[in-house]
Amino acid sequence: RNPHIKYILSGTMTYNDRGVILNVRMVDINSKVVVASSKGFVPQFVVESLYPRNYVDGIVLDSTS
């Protein structure tokens, strides 16, 4: 146990052809009560902009692209 930790984040990311759906919860570490939650959507064009286009199995083949 770390006495400095008060909250943890927990959630899911669901991928589809339009983007990513995020479901997130903030949980009080001591009481285990959900103190906040949110649902969001990240469009596919934003998701694609976060990753290099020229990679295989997570390895960047050419960083100049």
Q: Which residues of the chain have pLDDT under 70?
A: 1, 52-53, 55, 58, 60, 62-65
Amino acid 6: pLDDT: 94
Token pair, residue 16, equals 């589809």
pLDDT score, position 63: 58
Cα gap 28→59, rounded to integer Å:
37
Residues sharing a CB contact under 8 Å with residue 60, sequence separation 6 or more, in sequence order: 52, 54
> How much is the pLDDT for 65?
47
